[in-house]
Chain A
Amino acid sequence: MYAIQTNQLTRSFGTLKAVDRLTLEVQRGTVFGFLGPNGSGKTTTIRLLLGLLDADEGQAQVLGFDIREQPDEVRARSGALLEHHGLYERLSAADNLDYYGRIWHMSKAERESRNRELLEPLGLYDRRNEPIGRWSRGMKQKLAVARTLMHHPELVFLDEPTAGLDPVASAALREDLEMLAEQEGVTIFLTTHNLAEAEKLCNQVGVINHGQLLALGSPADLRSRTSAPRLYVTGQGFSPQVIESLRGNALVSKVQAHNGQTVMDLTDMARSHEIVAQLVGAGVQIDEVRKEKADLEDVFLRLVEEENRGEE
């Protein structure tokens, strides 16, 4: 059963197509990463799925409800942390959670126990009565994540939850998200342009640019489907002639050299020894050879570059 199903979903602002014929499916109970550069249509997609914006064309079902006909049903079963954390900074953490608990008709006892259940693992429970205006951005983001889970939603939308956080706070929030996703068993629709985050958290990812879905699958799938195996060679003697000869080799699809390291995308990893032999023959003094598959970031950059080239 799918948590989200869209079919040719489209939304324009004037002449700009923010979301362009988006068709995707998100399985229940998974963490879905929606990757794309700034302005690629990620936030608009979330707004459409929550029924906050009307689609121009296409259909979408969220948790089995049509977003045009039953947006209230969708919102009643979802939690959302959008572009801004949306917390009331003059109120305390407990009041913020309490308000959202009341919105979902939770009893006082339920609200109190849920407050504790969510804030304790995040290390915020002892500070629950402080006005949150003076809290760090990382703490506020954690609280905002807790707020989205307050009412035990079936589906949670997180729009770039680690954006603007320092690396330590990002890592901490990522760990918390991982823990909460496992503990709560909810479907998470996460937008991000932090590829490491997507790689760590998501079972499935979709790459979007200019409103169009470029690829969809598990991070491993995408890597194998769209990226070449990669060879890292560190050493001395990478003259322009050597680099040029590598470019002429049919086994090498791309060469990048900087700071004594040459990175090559290969068409066949099993024949990497031929490249090493070619380099040794050309007089390169090799210190280290490392074989690796490209990471999600490479996949993402390649997809976006290809799409941009296609547009030109």
Chain B
Amino acid sequence: MIADILTVAWKELREMLMFGDSRGRSKLSMLVLLLIFGVVIPLQSGKDWVTSPVSAMVWAWMPYMWVYSVVADSFAGERERHTLEALLATRLSDRAILLGKLLAALAYGFTLTWAILLVSLAAVNIAVRGSGLLLFSPTMAIGALVFSILVSGLAASVGVLVSLRASSVRQAQQWMSFGMLILFLPFMFIQFIPKAWLESVGNAVIHANPLQIGIWAAAALLVLESVLLMIAMRLFQRSKLILD
């Protein structure tokens, strides 16, 4: 089973890294994001880059963006290019196909996020010379590690689920964009929330233990991913995929 998952992931990663998304845009966007988050912003932020909570937010959010760009292709792309039926006619189990695609998307998001993170560290250290070696604090580094895995996993689960149901890559991408919009919708309504409420929430966050918040957030993500994965497994039926 594990060998089969790795086989599917191997092929997926090979296509992702060599060709990016179905329109081949990934290499360009990879370069642009590498420049922005790996060089420009770290150089502007200086020392703050390794201490500010804002950069922690960036690392938590970035994997979603990477995974989003390729995961829509996982099933919808195979269906569009007529390769899905041949794959379903092999000895691979449903789980191996599903988890292999999920693992590939997760690994892609995680690896690229960490590659940019390391480039940004190098850029900051080159820019701010004479202050010794600048590194993220252990808590921030562990947080970035855990959340980049979890957010990659979340995006991969959502993406695979969407891709399973979408009839084309374009439709899958549209559904993913809609999902992202829903995710950011609450922030648009912040202005309508009474100021007193916002202050009390702000105070609660300031006085809360960041470690505790992190653990709760990680646990929530883990539960959400597990639920999405279970739904995807239930939806993955060879006969349904063939007839779709």
In contact, A72 and B83 (Cβ under 8 angstroms): no
Q: Kindly state whether residue B238 has any CB partner on chain A within 8 Å.
A: yes
Partner of A53, one of B4, B15, B239: B239
CB contact under 8 A between A83 and B3, given known A47-B242, A104-B91: no
In contact, A89 and B86 (Cβ under 8 angstroms): no
Q: Kindly state whether residue B131 has any CB partner on chain A within 8 Å.
A: no
In contact, B242 and A53 (Cβ under 8 angstroms): yes
Q: Which residues of B contact A80 (CB under 8 A)?
A: 86, 89
Q: Which residues of A contact B89 (CB under 8 A)?
A: 50, 52, 75, 78, 80, 82, 157
In contact, A105 and B86 (Cβ under 8 angstroms): no
Partner of A83, one of B85, B92, B238, B239: B85
Of B6-14, B34-42, B153-161, B175-183, the segment with at least 4 beta carbons within 8 Å of chain A is: B6-14
In contact, A99 and B11 (Cβ under 8 angstroms): yes
Question: Contact string, A157-201, partner B, CB cutoff 8 A, digits 1/0?
Answer: 100000000000000000000000000000000000000000000
Q: Which residues of A contact B92 (CB under 8 A)?
A: 103
Question: Contact string, B78-101, partner A, CB cutoff 8 A, digits 1/0?
Answer: 000111111111111100000000
- How many Å from the CB of B103 to the closest CB on chain A? 15
CB contact under 8 A between A90 and B18, given known A52-B89, A103-B91: yes
- How many Å from the CB of A148 to the closest CB on chain B? 9
Q: Kindly state whether residue A301 has any CB partner on chain B within 8 Å.
A: no
CB contact under 8 A between A75 and B18, given known A52-B85, A86-B83, A89-B81: no
Question: Contact string, A74-87, partner B, CB cutoff 8 A, digits 1/0?
Answer: 01101011111111
Q: Kindly state whether residue A54 has any CB partner on chain B within 8 Å.
A: yes
Most A CB atoms within 10 A — which of B11, B86, B87, B239?
A: B86
**Smallest CB-CB separation from B94: which chain A residue?**
A72
In contact, B81 and A52 (Cβ under 8 angstroms): no
- How many Å from the CB of A221 to the closest CB on chain B? 31
**Smallest CB-CB separation from A75: which chain B residue?**
B91
Question: Contact string, B200-244, partner A, CB cutoff 8 A, digits 1/0?
Answer: 000000000000000000000000000000000000001100110
Instruction: Give the size of the chain A interface in residues (CB under 8 angstroms).
Output: 30
Bound Cα distance from A52 to B242, whole angstroms: 7
- Chain B interface SS verdict (over half): helix
In contact, A52 and B238 (Cβ under 8 angstroms): yes
Partner of B3, one of A53, A89, A105: A105
Bound Cα distance from A130 to B243, whole angstroms: 32
In contact, A72 and B93 (Cβ under 8 angstroms): yes
Bound Cα distance from A102 to B92, whole angstroms: 11
Bound Cα distance from A88 to B15, whole angstroms: 9
- How many Å from the CB of A65 to the closest CB on chain B? 12
Q: Which residues of A contact B19 (CB under 8 A)?
A: 90
Q: Which residues of B contact A89 (CB under 8 A)?
A: 81
Q: Which residues of A contact B3 (CB under 8 A)?
A: 105
Bound Cα distance from A81 to B92, whole angstroms: 16
CB contact under 8 A between A99 and B242, given known A75-B89, A75-B91, A80-B89: no
In contact, A87 and B83 (Cβ under 8 angstroms): yes
Bound Cα distance from A170 to B14, whole angstroms: 32
Which A positions have Cβ atoms within 8 angstroms of B? 47, 50-54, 72, 75-76, 78, 80-91, 95, 99-100, 102-105, 157
Q: Can you list 29 contacts pairing A with B, beta carbon distance less than 8 Å?
A: A47-B242, A52-B85, A52-B239, A53-B242, A53-B243, A78-B89, A80-B89, A81-B86, A82-B85, A82-B86, A83-B82, A84-B83, A84-B86, A85-B82, A86-B83, A86-B86, A87-B86, A88-B11, A88-B15, A88-B83, A90-B15, A95-B14, A99-B10, A100-B90, A103-B4, A103-B7, A103-B90, A103-B91, A104-B91
